Structure 1
Amino acid sequence: MIRENLAELAAFATVAEERSFTRAASRLGISQSALSHSIRGLEKRLGVQLLARTTRSVSATAAGADLLRELAPALERIRGAVAETMQQRERPAGRIRLIIPRTATEMVILPKLAAFARAYPEIVLEVTSSNDPVDLVEGEYDAGVQLGEFIQRDMIAVRVTKEMRLAVVGSPAYFESNPVPKRPQDLKDHACIGFRFSKSLYRWEFEKGRKALTVSPQGPVSFDDPDLVIQAVLDGVGIGTAMEETLKGLIAKGRLVQVLRDWCPPFPGYFLYYPSRRNQPAALASLIATLRLTD
C-alpha cells in the first residue's frame, strides 16, 4: 500500500505546500483534474479528509497537517537519495565492487591504482580476489576481470592486457636432480604442483603447430593461490605454472628455469567485463577508460 500511495502522498504534500491545486498541478506537470482525482482517491483510502477546499483557497485539515509533518521530511530524504543516485550518471563517484583474480589485480589494477585514485578521489574500489568465474549480477558485483575464455557471452568485455603466455618453470635445484622436460609427455615423470581453479585442478594445455594436448598435473601438493604455487617451485618442490609476465624477473635472475616454452603459445589475456552499457554510472565508465588497453 505504501508503494502504491507514494506518488499520491507526494502530490498531497505539494498541494498543501502550494495551497493551490492549480499551482501544484503546474509544479507536478499534470492536469488539475488528474491531481484532484488523485487526492480524492488518497482521502478515500485513508478514510479522512486531508485538504479543506473552497472556491478561493486550499489548506490542510488537522489530519492533513499531522500527516504532512511526518511526510515532508521523509519525502525530502527520498528526493535527496534520488538526486544522489542520478548524479552517479554524471559525476565519477561512489563505490565500485570488483571481482578479480589476484594475478590480474597485480597486473591490471595495482599499476594504475595511484593515478586512478588521484584522478577520481570520490570513487572507492572494493576489490574481491577470486580465481573462479562468477555471475556478476548474482554476486552483486559491478564488474570483474577474467581471462576471455571464462567470460559469459552476454557480458560486455574490454581488453585490459596484451596477449599472455603460460610459463612452465622449475628451480635450478630441482633440475639438478631431475631431467629437463623436452615434451609435455615428459611431465609424467616429474612432481607437478597443481593449481586449483573453479574448484577443480587446472589442466595444463599445450600446443605446438597442429599438435595440442592436455596434461593433468600429478604431484605432492596443489594450491588455489598462484603465488603459493611459485613459492613451492622456488623451494624445489617441483614444476609449476604461472603467467609468464609475472615471472620474468625471477627467470631473468636465474631463480627459475623456464621449460617447454615452444609448447606454450600466447593467448588473449585479461578482460574487464560487466553486464550492460545502458545507464552506465560515471564511476564505472571512468574505470573502464583507465584500464582499457589502448596500444
Structure 2
Amino acid sequence: MKTGNLSDLVVFVAVAQESNFTRAAAWLGVSPSAVSQTIRGLEERLGVQLLTRTTRSVTRTEAGERLLQEIAPLLDQIHGHLGALSALGQHPSGTVRITADEYAVRHVLWPKLRPVIETCPDVAIELMTDYGLTDIVAERFDAGVRLGGIIDADMVAVPIGPPMRMVTVASPAYLKRYGAPRRPEELITHRCINLRLPTHGGVYPWEFTSDGSEFRVRVQGPLIMNSALQILDACLAGVGLAQVTDAHAQEYINSGALEEVLGGWSEMFPGYLDALRRE
C-alpha cells in the first residue's frame, strides 16, 4: 500500500497542529486547495480518516491524533538534523590532521594555526611531527607539509613558505681545528653529521650544484640523526659539519655561532609546500 511521501506528512502535521486549512496553507506557502487535496490523498492511501472538517473547525480523529503524536516528533528530529548539517557550512567543526617536520610545525604552521584555535572552538587540530614522507591518504591525514615539492601523483600542493637553500655549516671551533672544505669533494675527509630519513631508509646524501648541474656527495662522520634540530645542536657543539636549510641555520649564522662553507655550490629550491588530498 502506497502511503505517500514525507511532504504529505509535513502537510498533515501543519493542519493538525493549526486546526485550520487556511493557516496551515499560509505557513507552508501553498494554497488551501492544495493542502486539502494533499490531506484527501493521504487519507485515501492510508484507508482511514485523519481529520474531521466542518465549516467552522478542523479536528483530529482518533487515527489522526495517533499519527500526529507519532509523526510530529520524528519530523522535528529530521529538521533538527538537517539544521545541524547546514550549520557545518557556516561554523567550521571537526578534526584536521596535519603531518609536518619540526621546523614547519614551529615556524610555518603554528603562527597560522594559533588564531584558528582561538576563533574556531569546534575545530580540533592534530599535528604529527614526522621527517618521513608519510602516505597522507593511507594514514588519513588531511594535509602534509613537505620541502621542495616532493609529493605523490594523487596530491595537490600549494606553497606556504619562501624558497630555501641547503647550506653547509660548521661552528667556528670546528673550522679552527679541522679547517674549511674548499670544494664538496673535500667533505669525504671531514667529520660530517648525517641525516637518515625514515622514508628513504639510507643516509641522505648532501646535495650541491655546479654550472646548473646537481650532484651528491656521500659523507661520513661520527653522528647519524633523524632530526634537523638535533643535527643543528650537534653542529653548534662542534661535533662536525652539517647540511641543513638556510631557514634552520640563518639565525646562528647571523649571530656567528655557525659559519657557512661551500656557499658557491648551493642554490634555491622550492620551500615548504602544503600537500593536500586530491578530491
TM-score, normalised via structure 2 length: 0.71
Q: Structure 1 residues 79 and 52 mapped into 2: Cα distance closer, same or farther (>3 Å)?
A: farther
Which residue in 2 is equivalent to 1:191?
191
Pair 64,256 (structure 1): closer, same or farther in 2 beyond 3 Å:
same
Give how far 1:51 is off: 7.5
State the alpha-carbon separation in 2 of the partners of residues 156 and 101 from structure 1.
19
Distance in 1, Cα, partners of 2:154 & 2:267: 27
Amino acid at match of 2:127: V
Contact 1:203 1:217 in 2 (8 A): yes
**Alignment match, 1:176:** 176
Aligned to 2:251: 249
Work out whether residues 99 and 143 of structure 1, in 8 Å CA contact, stay in contact via their aligned partners in 2: yes
- The answer on whether the counterparts of 2:196 and 2:224 sit within 8 Å (CA) in structure 1 is yes
Displacement after TM superposition at 1:161 (Å): 1.9
> Larger relative contact order (C-alpha < 8 A, sep ≥ 6)?
1
Change (3 A) 1:173 1:51: farther
Q: Is the 8 A contact 2:148 2:269 kept in 1?
A: no
Match of 1:292 in 2: none
Q: 1:116 to 1:68 in 2, by over 3 A?
A: closer
**Residue of structure 2 equivalent to 1:17:** 13
8 A contact 2:160–2:274 mirrored in 1: yes
CA 1:19/1:189 → structure 2, altered by over 3 Å: closer, same or farther? same
1:134 has 2:137 as partner: no
1:264 aligned residue (251, 256, 266): 266
Distance (Å, rounded) in 2 between the aligned partners of 1:148 and 1:142 = 19
Aligned mate of 2:224, from 218, 222, 225: 222
Indicate whether 1:80 and 2:83 are aligned.
Answer: yes
The answer to whether the 8 A contact 1:155-1:273 is kept is yes
Alpha-carbon shift at residue 114 of structure 1 (Å):
5.3
Moved more, 150-159 or 57-66: 57-66
Would you say the 8 A contact 1:132–1:197 is kept in 2? yes
5 Å-filtered alignment, 1:68-217, equals 68=71, 71-72=74-75, 74-88=77-91, 95-113=95-113, 120-122=119-121, 125-199=125-199, 200=201, 201-217=203-219
Report the CA distance shift for 1:87/1:165 in structure 2 as closer, same or farther (over 3 A).
same
Distance 1:72 1:267, change over 3 A: same
For 2:259 and 2:247, how far apart are their aligned partners in 1? 14
Alignment partners' CA distance in 2, 1:107 and 1:18: 58
Structure 1 residues 14 and 262: CA distance shift in structure 2, 3 A: same
TM-score, normalised on structure 1?
0.67
Q: Is the CA contact 1:151–1:273 (under 8 Å) kept in the aligned structure 2? A: yes
Give the count of matched residue pairs.
253
Counterpart code for 1:97: R
Superposed CA deviations along residues 116-137 of structure 1, whole A, max 9, x for unmatched, are: 667x455554332222233433
Q: Is the 8 A contact 2:149 2:273 kept in 1?
A: no
Q: Is the 8 A contact 2:13 2:68 kept in 1?
A: no
Larger Rg: 2
1:218 offset after TM fit, Å? 2.4
Aligned to 1:274: 276
Gaps of 5+ in 1: 1-6, 44-48, 279-295
1-structure distance, mates of 2:48, 2:233: 76
**2:137 maps to amino acid:** V
- Counting aligned pairs with the same residue, the percent is 27
Q: Deviations over 1:99-154 (max 9, x none)?
A: 22221223322444556667x45555433222223343333333332124312344
Contact 2:149 2:157 in 1 (8 A): no
